[in-house]
Structure formats: structure tokens, C-alpha cells
Amino acid sequence: MHDKETYKSARKKKAVVYWIHYPDHTDPTQDGYIGISTQVGIRFRNHMRNNAHMRNRVNKGAVLTILHDVETLEEAAQVEKTYRPHENIGWNTNAGGDIPPKRTSAPEKNKLSGDERTDKQKEASRKHSERMKSQTPWNKGTKGKQIAWNKGKPNKDLFEISQIIRICPHCDKQGKGSSMLRWHFNNCKFKTGM
């Protein structure tokens, strides 16, 4: 449940309080993840699809256990609150009973514009700029000295060599190109008498 409308419409359905944990975890008030849902299978699949941390934990052996069956989602939220009275307990980041934060896009990186920087940061930036003005760039004068592998005229000799059909003496495989040299002749798996 990501938005308040869906959360409100699901309040009257039967709900469960579930615990995702490793088999050696013994205390649901401190270990693993406590959650609530009216459709625990779908919710578990959403955890696996949308949460890389949870997916990694399940791949390492975490299991899902149903702790309580209750009549409504509101009751489930109250029970969840007893397991997670505040934030950052076990694998939960929110307190119990809170609606999880909705993520519509990837979080933006922390970019500081000129107005948000402190005076100390602005001074350090200015000093760095002054230092760099007196230095020659490491790549100055290197433009065009190295030709890219895919630029220029094609080498006709290499093309002709790649078209030669070869036969491996160890397995009688017939082919052309560099893969024959890579997997046959001296490297053939049927070669005997090393």
C-alpha cells in the first residue's frame, strides 16, 4: 500500500502481521522486518521486486512468518506498533503503523548549489580554483595522438586471414576466424600427449 486512498479502502479487509527474518532470529521485537497486509503474498512479491535489500536477504535464507491474523488493517497497524514502537528497529525504517514512504523516482543526489553551501565550502572551492589555474592539464597536447580501434581504414590483410578455413588436427573441427585458434589446435580439449 503506497497511497492513503488504497490504505483507507483496505482497512476493512482481514489483515495479517508478518515477520520476514532469518531462521536464527528469535525475537520479532528486535530482529527482521515486521509488516502488515491484507494480501501477504502480493506484498511479499512487492518486497522482492522493489526492495533490493529484502531480495538479498531472502536469497540468503530469510523466511516469512505470519505472527497474527486480525480483522482489520487498523488492528494490524496497532499490533505492528507494539513490535516497532519507533523507527529503525530491525530491518524496518519506519515506526509501526506508519504508511511507508512513496518513492516515485530515484532519489536525487545531494547537490549543493552556490546558495546552499557554507562559507567554509565556498572558500575551499575558491582556493581549489586558484590552485588549478596555475597547473597544466595532464592531457594537454594529447588530442589525436591515439587512434581509436574502430577508426581509420580497415586492414585487408586481417580480413583475408580471418576468412581462411582451418581444420583442427585433434578433433577434426572445421572453421574460420580467431575462435578456431582460441579453442582448437594447441588449446583443443581432445589434444593428447601434452
3-state secondary structure 125-193: HHHHHHHHHCCCCCCCCCCCCCCCCCCCCCCHHHHHHHCCEEECCCCCCEEECHHHHHHCHHHCCCCCC
Of 37-46, 109-118, 182-191, the one with minimum mean pLDDT is 109-118
* Domain end position, chosen among 23, 56, 83: 83
Question: What span, in angstroms and rounded, lies between the C-alpha atoms of 67 and 78?
Answer: 13
Nearest to 62 by CA among 18, 2, 103, 17: 18
Would you state the pLDDT for residue 47?
A: 87
Question: What span, in angstroms and rounded, lies between the C-alpha atoms of 37 and 94?
Answer: 15
Handedness of CA 137, 141, 143, 147 (dihedral sign): negative
Q: What is the pLDDT of the chain when averaged over all its residues?
A: 82
72 pLDDT band, cuts 50/70/90, is confident
In a domain, 141, yes or no: no
In a domain, 139, yes or no: no
In a domain, 88, yes or no: no
Handedness of CA 172, 175, 177, 183 (dihedral sign): negative
Question: What span, in angstroms and rounded, lies between the C-alpha atoms of 119 and 135?
Answer: 25
pLDDT digits (tens, 9 = 90+) for 137-160: 888 888 777 777 667 666 777 777
* Domain end position, chosen among 83, 118, 143: 83
* Domain end position, chosen among 30, 59, 83: 83
In a domain, 174, yes or no: yes
Q: Could you tell me the pTM of the whole model?
A: 0.48
Query: What residue numbers bound the domain in which 180 lies?
Result: 156-187
Q: Cβ distance 54 to 100 under 8 Å?
A: no
Element (H or E) spanning 69, and its range?
strand 63-70
The bridge status of strand 174-176 relative to strand 63-70 is unpaired
Question: What span, in angstroms and rounded, lies between the C-alpha atoms of 44 and 55?
Answer: 10
Residue 49 pLDDT exceeds 50: yes
Q: Which residues of 87-124 are buried (b: 16+ CB within 10 A; e: fewer)?
A: eebbbbeeebbeeeeeeeeeeeeeeeeeeeeeeeeeee
Would you state the pLDDT for residue 14?
A: 86
How many structural domains is the chain composed of? 2
pLDDT digits (tens, 9 = 90+) for 19-40: 999 999 999 999 999 999 888 8
Averaged pLDDT for residues 4-29? 78
